[in-house]
A and B are shown apart, each in its own frame.
Chain A
Amino acid sequence: MTTQGWDDDDAILREVATALREVEHVAGPVRAAGEAAYTWRGIDEELELASLAYDSLLDVGPAVRATAVDGGRTLLFTGPSASVQVEHDSGMVVGQLIPPGPGRLTVEGGDGYRAEWEVDEVGCFSFRPPAAEPVRLRVRADSVELVTDWISF
């Protein structure tokens, strides 16, 4: 019962074959994306990693869901000593660095996009993200140096 036909050698092999065959047509590009991803490793070893801690698009609470779809999208990245909150709406991203402080923001795309923006004295910044390209935010400010998780807007 628990293995549901997986006790039989031929049956389990057939099912593995089916599972593999069903993804065959997308396996090539998925693998290619993976092979290219490693080149981004280690570049930011000296920077703090701010991990994605909240994404309003993924908030599945029934009450929040509707607003997440209708309104802007809110994201929170947190690291050991700092965090970044951003809002994405109408093609623009507006964000704030906490603790606040002036500095530079580099928006880095997985396909090579790169742009620099100013972070003002209260830690605020805004930019228009590239379409169809995951990005990460690299912040060098008075108080902190961090890089966020990769995210697609």
Chain B
Amino acid sequence: MDETFSVTEVVAAAEDGDEAAWQDIVGRYTPLVASVAQGFRLGRPDVDDVAQTVWLRLVEHLGELKEPRALPRWIITTTRNECIRLFKASKRTRSFDPIAERSACDDAAAGVQPLLIGAHPEDPDEHLIRAARHQALLAALAELPPHQRDLILLLMEDPPLTYQTISERLDIPIGSIGPTRARALQRLRECPEIAEWGNPAAETSTKGGQGYDHTGLGR
């Protein structure tokens, strides 16, 4: 099994013209894009619009994302910015639910960037923390080696699948499901998004060198 899997290599392959690698990235990061857009409570056409712009732009910027944490950061920032852009552009032509608009747009505009700057567990705004936790988990899930990620996704099925079915779908012995699950969860916890959760010091120490863009244009 490929324990040395790294998303950075998939990004490099996609940049190099490997379409399967690009489709892998899309599959892995779709939940993260969707989750950020969801936080803005956008309707379907708006989510489509945001997603299309984010992916199209990502295709052109793959070459700049050579560092492991760059991709989730880029995706979160760009998706957030596109949602804000959509809110503000639409504001000129139609009215909005003021509560939804305040909670989503203003939080974002005020610079709330949960994954990027580390939301503190003490933060009183529970839905923001919840959204940030989900984004951290989805970013970490996207970084798992294929066999671990596939297993986690099958374990998420509702109603739950039997180990027999999982064993058949993944073509692995039933006896290896438990250990693979344990290693997958261990790896999930070791992902920077999870490991550094609620530890802004760790975030700050790495942030400076990674060209975080304060204008939030997600380049």
Contact = CB atoms under 8 A, between A and B. Distances in A.
Interface string A70-93: 100100000000000000000000
A19 B158 contact: no
B219 interface: yes
Interface in B108-150: 109-111, 121, 133-135, 137-138, 141
A19 B217 contact: no
B156 A26 contact: no
A57 B33 contact: no
B55 A34 contact: yes
A13 B155 contact: yes
A28 to B, nearest CB: 9
B56 A150 contact: yes
B52 A134 contact: yes
Given A54-B217, A134-B56, A6 B31 contact: no
B51 interface: yes
A16 B30 contact: no
A149 B52 contact: no
B66 to A, nearest CB: 16
Given A2-B199, A69-B91, A132 B49 contact: yes
A29 B85 contact: no
A31 B59 contact: no
B219 A1 contact: no
Contact of A150 (B57, B81, B141): B57
Given A22-B35, A42-B17, A58-B81, A31 B27 contact: yes
A9 B185 contact: yes
Contacts of B25: 34
Contact of A15 (B55, B89, B134, B182): B134
A2 B56 contact: no
Contact of B133 (A4, A7, A73): A4
Nearest to B18: A38
Contacts of A60: 109-111, 216
Interface stretch (B37-45, B161-169, B204-212): B37-45
A150 B219 CA distance: 12
B137 A16 contact: yes
Contact of A22 (B82, B111, B134): B134
A30 B51 contact: yes
Contacts of A6: 189, 194, 197
A19 B138 contact: yes
Nearest to B194: A6
B142 to A, nearest CB: 11
A129 to B, nearest CB: 12
B189 A30 contact: no
A98 interface: no
Given A20-B31, A37-B58, A150-B56, A2 B198 contact: yes
B139 to A, nearest CB: 10
B74 interface: no
Interface of A: 1-4, 6-7, 9, 12-13, 15-23, 26-27, 29-31, 33-38, 40-42, 49, 51-55, 57-60, 65, 68-70, 73, 110, 132, 134, 136, 149-153
13 contacts: A1-B121, A4-B121, A15-B133, A19-B137, A20-B153, A30-B33, A34-B26, A37-B52, A38-B23, A149-B57, A149-B60, A151-B53, A152-B53
Given A33-B55, A153-B89, 17 more contacts: A2-B199, A12-B137, A16-B137, A18-B134, A19-B135, A20-B138, A20-B156, A23-B31, A33-B48, A34-B30, A35-B26, A36-B52, A40-B56, A40-B59, A51-B219, A58-B85, A134-B49
